[in-house]
Structure 1
Amino acid sequence: MIGTGMIGRDHIRRVTDVVTGAQVVAVTDIDVERAKEIASTIDARVLPTGHDVINDPLVDAVVVTSWGPTHAEYVLAAIAAGKPVFCEKPLATAAEDGLRIVEAEQAFGRRLVQVGFMRRYDAGYRAMKRVIDSGEIGAPLLMHCVHRNQSVPQTYHSDMAVQDTAVHEIDIIRWLLDDDIVSTQVITPRRTANRFGHLQDPQVMLFETSGGVRIDLEVFVNCQYGYDIQCETVGETGTVRLPDPADVWLRSAGQLRTGVLQDWQQRFAAAFDREFTEWVASIADGRLCGPSAWDGYATALISDATTEARHTGRVVTLARPDRPAFYAT
Structure 2
Amino acid sequence: MGAAHARTLATSVPGAEVVRVFDMDTERAKQVAHGVGAEAADSAEALVADVDAFVVASPDFTHADLAVAGIEAGKHVLCEKPLAVTADDARRVVDAEAAAGRRFVQVGFNRRFDPGFVDLKAAITDGSLGDVRLLHGIHRNASNSTSTDDATLVTGSMIHELDTFRWLLDGEIVAIRVESPVVDGFRDPQVATLWTDGGQMATAEVFVNAAYGYDVRVEVVGTGGSASLEPRHPVLRRVSGQGGSAIGSDFVEHFADSYRIELAAWADASLRGEVVGASAWDGYVANVVAAAGVDALRSGQKRDVVVPERPSLYA
Q: State TM-score, norm by structure 1.
A: 0.91
Q: 1:3 corresponds to which residue? A: none
Which amino acid is 2:260 matched to?
Answer: D
1:280 Cα offset (Å): 0.8
Tell me the distance in 2 between the aligned counterparts of 1:322 and 1:124.
32
Tell me the distance in 2 between the aligned counterparts of 1:163 and 1:154.
10
SS state of the match for residue 165, structure 2? Answer: helix
Is contact 1:144–1:216 with CA below 8 Å preserved after alignment? yes
Pick one of 28, 34, 55 that aligns with 2:49.
55
Q: 1:86 corresponds to which residue? A: 78
1:323 Cα offset (Å): 2.3
Aligned pair 1:185/2:177, yes or no? yes
Q: 2:62 corresponds to which residue? A: 70
Pick one of 220, 230, 249 that aligns with 2:207.
220
SS state of the match for residue 150, structure 2? Answer: coil
Which amino acid is 1:247 matched to?
Answer: P
1:320 Cα offset (Å): 4.0
Pick one of 159, 162, 169 that aligns with 1:170.
162
Tell me the distance in 1 between the aligned counterparts of 2:164 and 2:146.
27
Which runs of structure 1 show a deviation greater than 4 angstroms over 4 or more consecutive aligned residues? none
SS state of the match for residue 133, structure 2? Answer: strand
Tell me the distance in 1 between the aligned counterparts of 2:110 and 2:36.
24
Give the gaps of 5 or more residues in structure 1. 1-6, 192-196
Q: CA RMSD in A?
A: 1.7
Which amino acid is 1:181 matched to?
Answer: I
Is contact 2:146–2:152 with CA below 8 Å preserved after alignment? no
May I ask how many residue pairs the two structures share in their alignment?
315
Pick one of 226, 233, 249 that aligns with 1:246.
233
Q: CA 1:287/1:262 → structure 2, altered by over 3 Å: closer, same or farther?
A: same
Give the gaps of 5 or more residues in structure 2. none
Q: 1:18 corresponds to which residue? A: 12
Pick one of 82, 106, 131 that aligns with 2:123.
131
Is contact 1:247–1:259 with CA below 8 Å preserved after alignment? no
Q: CA 1:222/1:327 → structure 2, altered by over 3 Å: closer, same or farther?
A: same
Alignment of 1:275-286 (within 5 A): 275-286=262-273
Is contact 1:148–1:223 with CA below 8 Å preserved after alignment? yes
Is contact 1:91–1:296 with CA below 8 Å preserved after alignment? yes
Pick one of 135, 139, 152 that aligns with 1:160.
152
Is contact 2:10–2:16 with CA below 8 Å preserved after alignment? yes
Aligned pair 1:36/2:30, yes or no? yes
SS state of the match for residue 162, structure 1? Answer: helix
Tell me the distance in 1 between the aligned counterparts of 2:57 and 2:194.
29
1:42 Cα offset (Å): 3.1
Is contact 2:129–2:224 with CA below 8 Å preserved after alignment? yes
